[in-house]
A and B are shown apart, each in its own frame.
Chain A
């Protein structure tokens, strides 16, 4: 395929699907076809992405850039760049999107706005693919914003529900904080002379030191701030649990597998900035570790199964950031890939359960294992993968991360390792808490008793995802359609993290321990959570209130931000407006004075006329020259 126009079709097909669906398939009668348009487009994108990956992996990247806009010394291009990193991401995004859309046919059946759902989904898919395939940072930013809008539209899909509308707004506003940082980074780059936006060129410039160290660090930190927002890292994670108001396939696709991964992808894509700014890398690792741990703790205290998974996503993204921060580039991206599979799987199983039982609360479920065997089994696979149990995919990717943290030379890496290990234990704990409470034991409500398995449109993707979640570990050694392992595809020459068996064993023990505690507390009733909470009430208080972080943000918004806005508003009203009004007032005063010249007396005007005439005569004829010569032209 080379650097050909077909690259543009990868995001282009879903975007075209958006236009088609929006134009023809929104009415209730005509929307039956909408999902198929999108699935067709995604199939095409997937096929093209596979081709591109096959060509680019481990070899020269595919690149096509067309000039778009040239203004004031800045040149913007529309470009597509497929190397190992973006190739893998493209395939993952296209594949997950495709399966989620198939699932959505069943999940969204009968919903009002069926067509609108698929229209937004196609816009999202196109934007996400566009983001991944971008070759320059400005284009990435544009698609970044686009996926943000799609997230808003899809979280608030049931816009008549106040909770959904509020959640959509919260998501948009919170990520805005991060996006502002990202935009500032782009602006800083635009001031550099020569202004270069392409990742490839920027990498070269950083390598030869053409950009000052301070600038590089600043850009890296600002880019990371964008990632903090999009990937729901501390402290901008508060939007993701609320985003569960959207339909479950949306949560699966956007808030588990793809959009939230965009932040991690961006850091990976712009890694050359971070590699040249160790301070920024430390910040990345720190935030990642904190997020990892906090997310896991909060997930352990939720009763809404989707919110558990949301906190889990936050925590797992923290793992990825931590990996990138300590230099484990391959580990972070590998976990991104495996996480996409098993987290999407888990969300879809949650959706299947919700669809059957009509509630999100795990304490209204129970005994679903017998009634929904496929869902339960696939969920178990996902849970095991998330917990990192051998030989499922999560084990391999998480293990690489732990190895990277253990062997890194970053100051404080042992603290990060401790947090990561704690995170592993907690992850296993909260995931199996969910699984045991929902799928084992006796049904706790009538709906739970009457639950039945979901239709094959929904369980089919579950099985496929489960297979992927189980087998994706193999990617470490061999990526399909290419000729190497994951590290080779990324162009990273392995040998950095040799998996030390001690770490592997430690991780496995930790995970199994977490599962054991969950089993003890929620299946075998050997340990009572009530008793625990009575002994250490602070834990429950902190965790149930999400470490009071929402409250903290609320205070910040109302006290600080609004106070600032009030000041700005005063300035605008009195100073800026005042200047404009001042000009008008001056004009009024001046004109009131000048108007007096218009006396309305015609003889006054005549007098002025005569005076002017006299002056004219003096000026023109004043010098010692002949009147006649001037008037007639004769010497």
Chain B
């Protein structure tokens, strides 16, 4: 049954675009809310639907393992971490403090400009799209890729995580009492 749904979603001429539009809108709107919320806690919480939507988009694209990883790591790990930090750095209630700084207008203009340029460049490009008859075992192929040609990247990534863990402990420990 899940397979049927999945197939419909992935290739159905109606359901696929619908799913795409919903997930895209979800990502963009919750992203906006992340950025524009006055309350930092709300901002952090709105990140969750955004990340889940992106995971959904990964599913639509057929990267199932990656979607799972996204949810586990991002939503489950990073967002929790952020929430901890938010809790630990709550000020003693600053009511009138602004959420945005002086650069708001310029920030908008800059981001809009970048978006405009990028979109323009993207639009006039003729993307050489290819398609494959059968995607096959994506996860298996991903595992093969990680452990054979890209094993170095894989190992280095794990070292990075170790280093980051130690580093975070050291930095967050503060002055020894």
Contact present between A and B (CB < 8 A): yes
1/0 contact string of B112-131 vs chain A (CB within 8 Å): 01100110011011111000
- In the complex, how many residues of chain A place their beta carbon closer than 8 angstroms to a beta carbon of chain B? 15
A606, chain B: closest CB distance, angstroms: 9
- The interface residues of chain A, by DSSP majority, are classed as helix
Q: Is the CB of B126 within 8 A of A626?
A: yes
Is A69 part of the binding interface, using a Cβ–Cβ cutoff of 8 Å? no
Give complex CA distance A197, B113 in Å: 74
Among B19-27, B62-70, B102-110, the stretch that binds chain A is B102-110
Residues of B within 8 Å of A627, CB to CB, are 121-122, 125
1/0 contact string of A380-399 vs chain B (CB within 8 Å): 00000000000000000000
Give complex CA distance A613, B128 in Å: 26
- In the complex, how many residues of chain B place their beta carbon closer than 8 angstroms to a beta carbon of chain A? 17
Q: With A603-B101, A603-B103 known to touch, is A610 a contact of B125 (CB < 8 Å)?
A: no
Residues of A within 8 Å of B126, CB to CB, are 626
B101, chain A: closest CB distance, angstroms: 6
Give complex CA distance A611, B111 in Å: 9
Among A285-293, A322-330, A614-622, the stretch that binds chain B is A614-622
Residue of B nearest to A610 (CB): B110
Is A23 part of the binding interface, using a Cβ–Cβ cutoff of 8 Å? no
Residue of A nearest to B101 (CB): A603
B99, chain A: closest CB distance, angstroms: 13
Is A590 part of the binding interface, using a Cβ–Cβ cutoff of 8 Å? no
Give complex CA distance A426, B111 in Å: 107
1/0 contact string of B24-53 vs chain A (CB within 8 Å): 000000000000000000000000000000
Give complex CA distance A123, B127 in Å: 92
Give complex CA distance A318, B165 in Å: 100
1/0 contact string of A595-623 vs chain B (CB within 8 Å): 00000010110010011011001100100
Give complex CA distance A627, B120 in Å: 11
Q: Is the CB of B113 within 8 A of A607?
A: no
Residues of A within 8 Å of B110, CB to CB, are 607, 610-611, 614
Q: Considering residues A604, A611, A614, which has the most beta carbons from chain B within 10 angstroms of its beta carbon?
A: A614
Is A628 part of the binding interface, using a Cβ–Cβ cutoff of 8 Å? yes
**Contacts between the two chains (Cβ within 8 Å), count:** 35
Residues of B within 8 Å of A607, CB to CB, are 103, 106-107, 110
Give complex CA distance A617, B124 in Å: 14
A612, chain B: closest CB distance, angstroms: 10
B74, chain A: closest CB distance, angstroms: 23
Cβ contact of A626, chosen from B103, B113, B114, B125, cutoff 8 A: B125
Residues of B within 8 Å of A621, CB to CB, are 121
Q: Is the CB of B128 within 8 A of A614?
A: no
Residues of B within 8 Å of A604, CB to CB, are 103
Residue of B nearest to A617 (CB): B117
Give complex CA distance A624, B121 in Å: 10
Q: With A626-B126, A628-B128 known to touch, is A610 a contact of B111 (CB < 8 Å)?
A: yes
Residues of A within 8 Å of B121, CB to CB, are 617, 621, 627
Give complex CA distance A618, B110 in Å: 14
Residues of B within 8 Å of A601, CB to CB, are 101
Residues of B within 8 Å of A628, CB to CB, are 125, 127-128
Residues of A within 8 Å of B128, CB to CB, are 628
Q: Is the CB of A614 within 8 A of B103?
A: no
Give complex CA distance A621, B123 in Å: 13
Residues of A within 8 Å of B114, CB to CB, are 610, 613-614, 617
A629, chain B: closest CB distance, angstroms: 10
Residue of B nearest to A609 (CB): B110
Residue of B nearest to A618 (CB): B117
- The 9 tightest CB contacts between A and B, nearest first, are A610-B110, A627-B125, A614-B113, A617-B117, A614-B114, A621-B121, A614-B117, A627-B121, A607-B110
- Chain A residues in the interface with B (C-beta under 8 A): 601, 603-604, 607, 610-611, 613-614, 617-618, 621, 624, 626-628
Can you give 16 contacting A-B residue pairs, CB < 8 Å? A601-B101, A603-B101, A603-B103, A607-B106, A610-B111, A610-B114, A611-B110, A614-B114, A614-B117, A617-B114, A617-B117, A624-B124, A627-B122, A627-B125, A628-B125, A628-B128
Given pairs A603-B103, A614-B114, 14 additional interface contacts (CB within 8 A): A601-B101, A603-B107, A607-B106, A607-B107, A607-B110, A610-B110, A610-B113, A614-B113, A617-B114, A617-B117, A617-B121, A624-B124, A627-B122, A628-B125
